[in-house]
Structure 1
């Protein structure tokens, strides 16, 4: 799976998200993100220490933000494969097990549809 569509990354981050990633990495240097789409996470990507989250065979690596890998469940990828995910930060509390919890700000996934020639370049997933 390509991490870009016509040169556009499948996942990107705002400056606020990159700043929060750096803040978290001061305490937990080796982290990853997972966007599952479960009923409790909603649009919040979960941030975990790498050794604390077991990736499944069907998880898809979208790319990296700030040097941190971002994964999505295979079923969510199938639904969102035409969409660029933009990791942002908003005020609030992070997910119960996410490393942004307790920092009074949390990660939030925004999105935009790939359009025009980008959409035509999206390969079929097997």
Structure 2
């Protein structure tokens, strides 16, 4: 079982964002402003804190998560999904009418 996966719809939106914006990355922090929501940013010039670890990639896009959340989710599979609607975030998909979200389930 892979640690990090994405739904087909999430991959479709990621591909759309890659075409429009180029190099991307995901960051899931534990801070304010949708802190536990996967946020998609331009990779070029984006600062990744030393408090984040790379847990993998989806659709060729690196995915970073806060060390605290990584510890909490160490036995969980991270599933990135997307829903239609405006998320309250700074993430690139918001302008397209989508919001990324994360689900998890116990890894066996």
Same fold by TM-score greater than 0.5: yes
Give runs of ≥4 in structure 1 deviating > 2 Å. Answer: 37-40
Q: TM-score, length-normalised on structure 2?
A: 0.90
Higher Cα Rg, which structure: 1
Task: Give a deviation string over 1:54-93, Cα, whole Å, max 9, x none.
Answer: 1112311110110110000111111111111100011221
Residue matched to 1:122: none
Matches of 2:54 and 2:71 in 1, distance apart?
13
What SS does the corresponding residue of 1:102 show, helix, strand or coil?
helix
Gaps of 5+ in 2: none
Q: Which of the two has greater strand per residue?
A: 2
Question: Which of 65, 83, 98 in structure 2 is aligned with 1:72?
Answer: 65
Residue matched to 1:89: 82
Gaps of 5+ in 1: 1-7, 116-126
Residue matched to 1:107: 100
User: CA offset at residue 95 of structure 1?
Assistant: 4.3
Structure 1 residues 1-126: aligned runs within 5 Å:
8-115=1-108
